[in-house]
Every structure is written in C-alpha cells, then in structure tokens.
Amino acid sequence: MYTEKVMDHFRNPRNVGEIENADGVGEVGNAKCGDIMKIYLKVENGIIQDIKFQTFGCGAAIATSSAVTEMAKGKTLDEALKLTNKMVAEELGGLPPAKMHCSNLAADALKRAIEDYKKKHNL
C-alpha cells in the first residue's frame, strides 16, 4: 500500500513536463518492468533553476519522479548528485517492498541529466 505522501505526489505531481532547450537531459529505463523516466534540467551558476520530468511507469515511479525533482530544485549540481534512491523513498515515507525498485528510476535519471549537462559543458 502506498503512503499518503506517495499518493499526494501521484495526485499532484510537481514539475511535470519538458523543458525546451534543456541544459541537461537524462533518460533511464527500468529493466525490471520496462518503465521509462526522463528528466530535464535548467542550470544557472551551477544551481538547478528548473527541473521537469516525464514518466511512463507505475504510481511509485511517478511519485518518486515528482519527489526527486522537488528535492533537486534549487540545489547545486554537486548537492543534487548526492541524492540517492533511498533518500527519495524516505522522503515519501517509504515504499512497499515490491516497489522499491521503482525508486531507482528517479535518482538515476537525475544523475544522468546532471552528467549530460556536465558533458555538454565539459565539466
């Protein structure tokens, strides 16, 4: 069963969508279930100014996507890189055991987006 926090993020997902001409884009697929998540970044002075996500996946996948974008927004890239799947799950008040793998999508997509930004900017 999902926590109230998971359901809140599912019901009112933060930062849904796409950023045109994003500074960084990260996409991951969940090998386990075939779900997909994409994260878009707008970075200024090393700080995540804007962040958006698109997710094809279960309730937990959508909620963790939403949560991770909320957690990353306003952070420096290095701070954001420290966000782990576990932290996202904790932020949501936990996930059912069968759904722990879903939380992997979120932090991984964020990481990829940051890496993409760094690569583009030769950092």
Partner 1 sequence: MKRVYLDHAATTPVHPQVLEKMLPFFKELYGNPSSIHQFGREVAIEIDKAREKVAKGINAQFPEEIFFTSGGTEADNLAIFGVAKALKDKGKHIITSVIEHHAVLDACESLEKEGFELTKVPVDCDGLIDLEFLKSAVRDDTILITIMHANNEVGTIQPIKEVVKIAKEKGVYVHTDAVQTFGNIPVDVQELGVDLLTISAHKIYGPKGVGALYVRKGTKIKGISYGGGQERKIRPGTENVPGIIGFGEAAQICVETLEKTKEMARLRDKLIDGLLKIEDVKLNGHRTNRLPGNVNVSIEYIEGEALLLSLDMEGIAASSGSACTSGSLDPSHVLLAMGLSHQTAHGSLRLTLGKDTTEEDIDYCLEVIPRIVDRLRKMSPLKKG
Among 22, 48, 51, 60, binds ligand FES (CB under 6 A): 60
58 is catalytic: no
Does position 23 bind ligand FES by CB under 6 A?
no
Of the residues 39, 63, 89, 102, which is catalytic?
102
Please report whether residue 85 would count as binding ligand FES according to CB under 6 A: no
Q: Alpha-carbon distance 67 to 71, whole Å?
A: 6
Residue 67 makes contact with ligand FES by CB under 6 A: no
- Sign (positive or negative) of CA dihedral 116, 41, 66, 17: negative
Measure Cα distances from 50 to 17, 39, 46, 72 in Å: 11, 11, 12, 9
State the minimum distance, in angstroms, from the CB of residue 108 to ligand FES: 11
